[in-house]
Amino acid sequence: MMRAIAVFCIHVVAMVLFTTAHACDTGAPILKPEQPSSPLAEIQKFTGTLFPYGATVIRYERQMESDALIRAKLFVTPAQWQGFLGCARLEPDAFEEEKRYLLGSNTDWWNPRDSRQLPTAQARLPGARVLNVGVDRSDPERILVFFVWHRT
């Protein structure tokens, strides 16, 4: 009986990983189609970054001056975080506390300097685009993500 449960769990985990990887590889949206006007869908459409279903946007802004810029603060669960890493093509060991400067300084609602620990990583994307992501894991139930996408 225990072996059957273990095999079942392995199959479920494999199916979830395959589905997430397949969605990322094909560019299929992870958001459900009935949410086309959500802030997350707008960020996803503009940046091309895929987000796990259920991620919650706290606030975001889009600046379209000389260089396009999107900043967003999101909450994700630990499981959603793993899916996001795969879709954003960020390596978990690329996150370093010393890179938090990539998120800029505090202004109004954008407050990366307030997090005690904020390991941050950067991904250089095609088309002179850059993705900076900081992760605050101080709450074990939900992860605070600072997301900055811009063109250079």
Place of tokens 């005690």: 116
pLDDT for the residue numbered 77: 94
Task: Tally Cβ neighbours within 10 Å of residue 142.
Answer: 17
pLDDT for the residue numbered 13: 37
pTM of the model: 0.75
Give the Cα-Cα-Cα angle 76, 85, 113 (nearest 5 degrees): 60
Residues 144 and 58: their CA atoms lie apart, in Å, by 9
If we measure between CA atoms, which residue out of 83, 90, 79 comes closest to residue 131? Answer: 90
Residues 53 and 8: their CA atoms lie apart, in Å, by 24
Task: Tally Cβ neighbours within 10 Å of residue 47.
Answer: 21
Residue 72, H or E segment: strand 68-76
- How many structural domains is the chain composed of? 1
* DSSP summary character for residue 107: B
Q: In terms of C-beta density within 10 A (0-12 exposed, 13-18 middle, 19 or more buried), how is residue 123 classed? A: middle
Domain ranges, residue 140: 2-151
pLDDT for the residue numbered 18: 43
Q: Name the stretches of the chain with pLDDT < 50.
A: 2-23, 25-34
